[in-house]
């Protein structure tokens, strides 16, 4: 059917968008949205079991919607009054300002995340300046390293014995990954469904509006209502 409409457009018999192609694109978007919503929800519930500091880094992605280059660049001095001022990003080792004016706006830190950040601060020696996620030299931690060292090994465990895949050679049975645990689909997967996750945690619409950077709260409320009704 899609090929027929394509030929009709080429022969100048049809001038609108290709209906079958639009339907396929919409179905793919809905399927992808459903997947990322599920991933984000399951990851948020699992984040307390992810080894630190990966668990806290992921919680920031899932509860603030920050990109991994913004998370890597976060500073303790920009965290105050229950919000974080996103002042910079780090990509491929280069420090730059956020891409947009909205990206530089303060982002609220909800109670659940604030508790995790304070626990992370204490584990890090109670600093009040410098990178929130720092390596042994006090420089911003490369988040790719915590994916490979902490997140992926945590997610890839045997269904039968619960051992990590890298240690499974010591077992007397075949390794079969536990499908109940979500797979790693990148930091961006945490940002999908952010508003719905915050809503389920009981966060007020006005706070969700600031996290999502919407111009007004009616936009936020409308999107939340659509997600809840699905």
Whether the pLDDT of residue 128 is over 70: the answer is: yes
pLDDT band at 20 (very low <50, low <70, confident <90, very high): low
Instruction: Count CB atoms within 10 A of the CB of residue 149.
Output: 12
Helix (H, G, I), strand (E, B), or coil: what is residue 12? Answer: coil
d(CA 90, CA 98): 9
Q: Show Cβ contacts of residue 145 under 8 Å, excluding neighbours closer than 6 positions.
A: none
pLDDT band at 8 (very low <50, low <70, confident <90, very high): low
Whether the pLDDT of residue 201 is over 70: the answer is: yes
Taking the CA of residue 21 as centre, how many other CA atoms within 13 Å lie in the half-sphere pointing to its CB?
Answer: 8
For 47-101, what is each residue's pLDDT tens digit? 667 889 999 998 998 888 888 899 999 999 999 999 999 889 998 888 998 766 6
pTM beyond cutoff 0.85: no
Cβ(119)–Cβ(144) under 8 Å? no
pLDDT band at 200 (very low <50, low <70, confident <90, very high): confident
Q: Specify burial of residue 70 (Cβ count, 10 A radius: 0-12, 13-18, 19+).
A: buried
Segment 132-137 mean pLDDT = 94
pLDDT band at 102 (very low <50, low <70, confident <90, very high): low
For 172-184, what is each residue's pLDDT tens digit? 899 999 988 888 8
Whether the pLDDT of residue 217 is over 60: the answer is: yes
More reliable by pLDDT, 9 or 193: 193
Mean pLDDT, the chain, rounded, equals 79
């Amino acid at each position: 059917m899609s090929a027929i409409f394509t030929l009709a457009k080429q022969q100048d018999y049809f001038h609108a968008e290709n209906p079958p192609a639009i339907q396929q694109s919409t179905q793919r978007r809905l399927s992808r949205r459903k997947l990322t919503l599920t991933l984000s929800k399951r990851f948020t519930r699992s984040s307390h079991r992810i080894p630190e500091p990966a668990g806290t880094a992921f919680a920031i992605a899932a509860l603030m919607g920050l990109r991994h280059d913004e998370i890597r660049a976060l500073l303790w001095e920009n965290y105050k009054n229950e919000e974080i001022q996103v002042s910079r990003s780090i990509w491929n080792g280069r420090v730059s300002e956020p891409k947009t004016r909205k990206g530089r706006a303060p982002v609220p830190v909800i109670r659940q995340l604030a508790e995790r950040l304070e626990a992370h601060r204490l584990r890090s020696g109670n600093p009040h300046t410098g990178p929130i996620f720092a390596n042994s030299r006090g420089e911003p931690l490369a988040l790719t390293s915590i994916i490979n060292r902490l997140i992926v090994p945590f997610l890839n465990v045997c269904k039968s014995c619960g051992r990590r895949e890298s240690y499974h050679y010591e077992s007397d049975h075949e390794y079969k990954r536990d499908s109940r645990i979500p797979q790693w689909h990148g930091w961006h997967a945490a940002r999908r469904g952010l508003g719905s996750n915050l809503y389920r945690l009981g966060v007020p619409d006005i706070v969700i509006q600031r996290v999502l950077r919407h111009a007004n709260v009616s936009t936020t409320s409308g999107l939340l209502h659509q997600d809840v009704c699905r």
